[in-house]
Amino acid sequence: MNRFKGKVAIVTGGSRDIGRAIAIKLAKEGAKVVVNYNNSESGAKETLDQIKSFGGEAIAVKADVSKLNEIKNLKAKTVEAFGDKVHILVNNAGGLFGRKVLQELDEAFYNLVMDVNFKSVVFMTQIFEPLMTKGASIVNLSSQAARDGGGAGSSLYSASKGAVSTFTKAMAKELGPKGIRVNALCPGLIATKFHDDFTKNDIRKKVAASTPLRREGQAEEVANLVAYLASEESSFLNGNNVDINGGLAFS
């Protein structure tokens, strides 16, 4: 398939896991991809290497997308490399950063979680929307945690992803008249470093066993759904929060 030939795509948090899978998927289908990263330059290089191995076109740009001035620099680098039109924006950057119950929360941790998971989506959308024209698509990464409150010690993560889900609906209404569609995904248990770092193995096995498909999801499966939402094949889908969790929970 070559659904994105001639199109420019930006993927935040593209240095590993779901972000990497999305960047590779879009590039395989012809998009010129801006792979954003913050801390993992080596991971971003690996994403680029994989894209270039099949003849894809991509650049890596370091930017902390929770900071407005760095988002503006990301925009400048994008325009410099690929011109002043962006057709696909995937707001994937995010993180849990630790499991803390209510009495363990402090202001610094609150700001970190909310800024990376939600502020980034708001201002990436604000800064790049002027480059997007009729037919463009924004895909945000929310979470099943936005639906059910998440696991133990993830209240702020869940709340930040809930904000992403609601912002998605608001932007679908605001940007829809311009022909820009905005949708989100709500992944369940996906086999990524996120869960390697923050979810105990026995919990993962229990959740997988409770899932009707009896397994964890894969990053590539999320990427396939992102590509669909970014394509003209989903041209009348707008404002949706699409579950991808193997049937564990329904909206």
The residues carrying an active-site annotation are 157
Q: ∠244-165-138 over CA atoms, to 5°?
A: 80
Task: Residue 21: count other Cβ atoms within 10 Å of its Cβ.
Answer: 25
Spatial distance between the Cα atoms of 79 and 193, rounded to a whole number of angstroms: 31
29-58 CB burial, b ≥16 within 10 A, e <16: bbbbbbbbbbebeebbeebbebbeeeebeb
Contact (CB, 8 A) for 161 and 117: yes
Q: Which helix (H) or strand (E) segment is 138 a member of?
A: strand 137-141
Spatial distance between the Cα atoms of 75 and 127, rounded to a whole number of angstroms: 7
Spatial distance between the Cα atoms of 82 and 98, rounded to a whole number of angstroms: 37
Q: Count how many Cα atoms sit within 13 Å of the Cα of residue 190 in the half-sphere of its side chain.
A: 25
Per-residue H/E/C for 34-102: EEEECCCHHHHHHHHHHHHHCCCEEEEEECCCCCHHHHHHHHHHHHHHHCCCCCEEEECCCCCCCCCCH
